Chain A
Amino acid sequence: MPKNRMCLVLGLFLLFLTACVRQVALRVPVGHVSRDHPAETWKETGEGAQQAEKAVPSKSPGEVASVSLMEQARRYLDAGDAESAIRILEQSIALNPYNGRGYYLLAEAWILKKDPKRALSFNRMARSYLKGDAAWEKRIREQYRKIKLIQ
Chain B
Amino acid sequence: MTGRKGQRWKKAGLFLLFALLVGGITTVLYCFYLSFEIEKRFSGRRWQIPSRVYSDVTLLYPGQRLNKGLFFQKLRDLGYREVPRNPEMPGEMRILPESLALFLKDIKMTGKKRKGFPLLIRFEADQIESLERRDTGQVLPLMEMEPEALMLFFGPEREQRRLVSIDQLPRHLIHAVLAIEDSRFFHHPGIDPIGMARALVTNLLSGGIRQGGSTLTQQLAKNYFLTPKRTFSRKFKEMLIALTMEALYDKKTILEIYLNEIYFGQKGSVSINGIGEAAQFYFGKPAQDLSLDESALLAGLIKAPNRYSPHRHPQAALKRRNRVLRAMFKEGWISGKQLKKAQSLPVRTVGVKRYGKRAPYFMDYVSRQLSRLYPREVLSGMGLTIYTTLDTQVQRAAEKALAHGLARLERRHPELKRLNPSERLQGAILVMHPKTGAILAMVGGRDYSASQFNRITQARRQPGSTIKPFVYLSALDTFTPASLLSNEPRTYTVDGHFWQPKNYKPVFRKHLRLKEALAQSVNLATVDLAMRIGLKKVVETIHKFGFSTPLRPYPAVSLGAFEVIPLELATAYCAFAADGVEPFPLSLKEVYDENGKLVKRKYMTLSSVIPPSKAYLMTSMLQYAVTHGTGRSLSRRGITFPVAGKTGTTNNYRDAWFVGYTPEVLALIWVGFDDNRSTGLTGASAALPIWAELMTAIKHRISRNVFKVPEGIVKKRICVESGQLAWPDICPVTEEEVFLSENVPKRRCTLHGPNYGLRIMRKRWEKWVPETEEGGP
Supposing A61-B63, A90-B436 touch, asked if A35 and B716 sit within 8 A by C-beta, the answer is: no
Nearest B-chain residue to A42, judged by Cβ: B715
Q: Tell whether A143 is near chain B: CB-to-CB under 8 Å.
A: no
Q: Tell whether A78 is near chain B: CB-to-CB under 8 Å.
A: no
What residues of B have a CB within 8 angstroms of the CB of A46 in the complex?
Answer: 613, 710-714, 741
Q: Tell whether B197 is near chain A: CB-to-CB under 8 Å.
A: no
Q: Tell whether A29 is near chain B: CB-to-CB under 8 Å.
A: yes
Q: How far is the CB of B35 from chain A (nearest CB, A)?
A: 43
Q: Tell whether B291 is near chain A: CB-to-CB under 8 Å.
A: no
Q: Tell whether B433 is near chain A: CB-to-CB under 8 Å.
A: yes
Nearest B-chain residue to A50, judged by Cβ: B711
Q: How far is the CB of A99 from chain B (nearest CB, A)?
A: 9
Task: Choose from A36, A91, A121 the contact partner of B736 (Cβ within 8 Å).
Answer: A36
Q: How far is the CB of A63 from chain B (nearest CB, A)?
A: 8
What residues of B have a CB within 8 angstroms of the CB of A125 in the complex?
Answer: 581, 606
Supposing A65-B61, A94-B664 touch, asked if A128 and B732 sit within 8 A by C-beta, the answer is: no
Bound Cα distance A83, B589 (Å): 12
Q: CB distance A62 to B757 under 8 Å?
A: no
Q: Tell whether A27 is near chain B: CB-to-CB under 8 Å.
A: yes
Identify whether the interface residues of B are mostly helix, strand, loop, or mixed.
loop
Q: CB distance B612 to A128 under 8 Å?
A: yes
B716-749 near A? 1/0 per residue, CB < 8 Å: 1000100000001111111110000100000000
What residues of A have a CB within 8 angstroms of the CB of B434 in the complex?
Answer: 97
What residues of B have a CB within 8 angstroms of the CB of A30 in the complex?
Answer: 757, 760
Identify whether the interface residues of A are mostly helix, strand, loop, or mixed.
helix
Q: CB distance A62 to B664 under 8 Å?
A: yes
What residues of A have a CB within 8 angstroms of the CB of B435 in the complex?
Answer: 93-94, 97
Nearest A-chain residue to B776, judged by Cβ: A1
Q: How far is the CB of B59 from chain A (nearest CB, A)?
A: 7
Q: Tell whether B64 is near chain A: CB-to-CB under 8 Å.
A: yes
**Number of A interface residues in the complex (CB < 8 A):** 55
Q: Tell whether A4 is near chain B: CB-to-CB under 8 Å.
A: no
Bound Cα distance A98, B141 (Å): 20
Q: Tell whether B655 is near chain A: CB-to-CB under 8 Å.
A: no
Q: CB distance A90 to B59 under 8 Å?
A: no
Q: How far is the CB of A28 from chain B (nearest CB, A)?
A: 5
Nearest B-chain residue to A61, judged by Cβ: B63
Task: Choose from A29, A42, A52, A60 the contact partner of B757 (Cβ within 8 Å).
Answer: A29
Nearest A-chain residue to B436, judged by Cβ: A94
What residues of B have a CB within 8 angstroms of the CB of A5 in the complex?
Answer: 772
What residues of B have a CB within 8 angstroms of the CB of A38 in the complex?
Answer: 736
Bound Cα distance A97, B581 (Å): 11
Q: How far is the CB of A60 from chain B (nearest CB, A)?
A: 5
Bound Cα distance A69, B61 (Å): 11
Which A10-25 residues sit within 8 Å CB-CB of chain B? 16, 19, 23
Q: CB distance A31 to B708 under 8 Å?
A: no
Task: Choose from B142, B590, B603, B777 the contact partner of A65 (Cβ within 8 Å).
Answer: B142
Bound Cα distance A97, B615 (Å): 14
Which B680-711 residues sit within 8 Å CB-CB of chain A? 703-705, 708-711
Bound Cα distance A118, B581 (Å): 13
Q: CB distance A44 to B715 under 8 Å?
A: yes
B650-681 near A? 1/0 per residue, CB < 8 Å: 00000000000001100000000000000000
Q: CB distance B711 to A124 under 8 Å?
A: no
Q: Tell whether A145 is near chain B: CB-to-CB under 8 Å.
A: no
Q: Tell whether B543 is near chain A: CB-to-CB under 8 Å.
A: no
What residues of B have a CB within 8 angstroms of the CB of A83 in the complex?
Answer: 111, 598, 601
Q: CB distance B741 to A62 under 8 Å?
A: no
Q: CB distance A97 to B711 under 8 Å?
A: no
Q: CB distance B64 to A62 under 8 Å?
A: yes
A72-94 near B? 1/0 per residue, CB < 8 Å: 00000000010110110011011
Q: CB distance A94 to B111 under 8 Å?
A: no
Q: Tell whether B242 is near chain A: CB-to-CB under 8 Å.
A: no
Q: CB distance B741 to A34 under 8 Å?
A: no
What residues of A have a CB within 8 angstroms of the CB of B714 in the complex?
Answer: 42, 44-46, 48-49
Q: CB distance B732 to A29 under 8 Å?
A: no
Bound Cα distance A151, B105 (Å): 44
Q: CB distance A87 to B111 under 8 Å?
A: yes
Q: How far is the CB of B303 from chain A (nearest CB, A)?
A: 46
Q: Tell whether B527 is near chain A: CB-to-CB under 8 Å.
A: no
Q: CB distance A97 to B730 under 8 Å?
A: no
Q: Tell whether B195 is near chain A: CB-to-CB under 8 Å.
A: no
Bound Cα distance A53, B756 (Å): 37
Supposing A62-B705, A65-B64, A125-B581 touch, asked if A29 and B59 sit within 8 A by C-beta, the answer is: no
Bound Cα distance A86, B194 (Å): 62
Q: Can you report 10 A-B residue pairs in the complex whose CB atoms are below 8 A from each other?
A: A46-B613, A46-B711, A46-B741, A48-B714, A50-B711, A60-B703, A83-B111, A95-B664, A122-B606, A128-B710
Top 10 closest A-B pairs, CB basis? A61-B63, A65-B61, A29-B757, A97-B435, A32-B729, A46-B711, A84-B111, A42-B715, A49-B709, A68-B141
Q: Given A32-B734, A48-B714, output 5 extra A-B contacts at Cβ < 8 Å.
A: A35-B734, A50-B709, A61-B63, A61-B64, A61-B127
